[in-house]
Amino acid sequence: MKYEIKLVEDSGDWEEFLKTTTPNIFVQSARYGDFFKELGEDAFMVGIYDGGKMIGGSLVVTTTARRGKFLYLPYGPKLDFSDRELLRQFNDFLVELARKEKADFIRVAPFLEDTEESRQLFRDLGYRSAPMHVLAETTWILDLDEDEETLMKNMRQTTRNLIRRGEREGVEIRVSSDEAAIDRLVELLDETAKRHHFTPFSKKYIQSEFDAFKDTDEVKIFEAYFEGEMVSSAIIFFYGDTAVYRHSASSSKRIKCQPTYFLQWNVIREAKRRGLKHYNFWGIAPEGASKKHPFYGITVFKTGFGGYKKDLLHCQDLPVTKKYWLNWLIETLRRIRRGF
């Protein structure tokens, strides 16, 4: 069967299709494409049509560096992976787009369960495992269909106790969209990064990502204050049926009630108030990871709220030019240095 595959000109058409899929994650939205454009890249919405009806597609963005340029599909594509002919035709379109954009390779990061069948799908098209992940691949997800009492009951006892303690000890939660709140988060993030030995996103990156969504009420900054001081902050995206825990930072001060727990409980309650179905806590360490893994420390925190682990297919790369191998070497060295 021959499908019609073309660029989607109307972002409203893409958003309408995207929100018929589940889960809805903001990194496939047209506004996330706007965020990449703000960073100086380009973005395309590619639709797959059957009889004039959109049945699949992906946001496709460019990423340009000295080591090479590539097309990147964040948690995409969104399509019926059981239809191998559909996937093949879509991939052929991507290859032509990559050549037109003078890209050295294509990188897909589908929100697809990591199974041997999934891996084989992409091997058959010539893809190989990427040197590094881009988005979270071992994720922790909480379904929000239970009432608050049941959600509390399903948490680890320590988590439940710290939430209640935060409330008793007067932790104050403020919700903001102000640029000043971004400044406070970035300042605290620098402190957090030094403490946990990771490289944080730049302020420009965080600000641009936030700005792409803030006028839609789909992103908020949650701040926890204890004794008048801001001690924890998190940027949360509320898109479609899913809330996402995106950026966060916390003070190094020893505070027995650990306000971050109470902050997260308030995020969960807000997601439920909005009628969302899922809360994606983003990345955790994979099973069996050593204590040196960058996500080791936050894994215990996130999993304490209840929920389940979802292992996604690792990023897949399709080389288009020989320059891909320079990128492969650089990213391999970076992965080793960062402890992944």
Q: Are 278 and 141 in contact (CB under 8 A)?
A: yes
Distances (CA, A) of 120 to 58, 84, 311: 20, 11, 16
The span from the CA of 12 to the CA of 15, in Å, is 5
Using DSSP bridges, classify how beta strands 68-75 and 105-110 pair: parallel, antiparallel or unpaired. Answer: parallel
Q: What is the pLDDT of residue 196?
A: 67
The span from the CA of 207 to the CA of 209, in Å, is 6
pLDDT digits (tens, 9 = 90+) for 177-213: 999 999 999 999 988 877 766 778 899 999 999 999 9
Domain boundaries, the chain: 4-134+312-338, 139-311
**Token pair of 180, please?**
């000043």
The span from the CA of 127 to the CA of 319, in Å, is 8
Q: Where are the beta strands (DSSP E) in the chain?
A: 4-7, 43-50, 53-65, 68-75, 105-110, 128-129, 138-143, 172-176, 219-226, 229-239, 242-250, 278-283, 308-311, 316-319
Q: Of 263, 260, 251, which is closest to residue 189 (Cα–Cα)?
A: 251
Q: What is the pLDDT of residue 339?
A: 63
pLDDT digits (tens, 9 = 90+) for 299-317: 999 999 999 999 999 999 9
**Token pair of 303, please?**
């999993």
SS3 (DSSP) at 250: strand
Q: What is the pLDDT of residue 330?
A: 82
Q: Do domains 4-134+312-338 and 139-311 have the same CATH topology?
A: yes
pLDDT under 70 in the chain at which residues?
Answer: 196-197, 339-340
Helices 203-211 & 30-38 angle (0-180, nearest 10): 140
Alpha carbon 48 to its chain's center: 23
Side-chain-side CA neighbours of 27 within 13 Å: the count stands at 20
Task: Give the architecture-level CATH label for domain 4-134+312-338.
Answer: 3-Layer(aba) Sandwich (3.40)
The length of the chain, given as a count of residues: 340
- Cα angle value 241/113/135 (rounded, 5°): 70
- Helix boundaries (H) for 169-216: 179-196, 203-211
Q: What is the pLDDT of residue 192?
A: 81
What is the CATH superfamily name and number for domain 139-311? Gcn5-related N-acetyltransferase (GNAT) (3.40.630.30)
Residue with structure tokens 């109307």?
10
Which value, to the nearest 10 degrees, does the dihedral of the CA atoms of residues 214, 219, 225, 228 take? 10
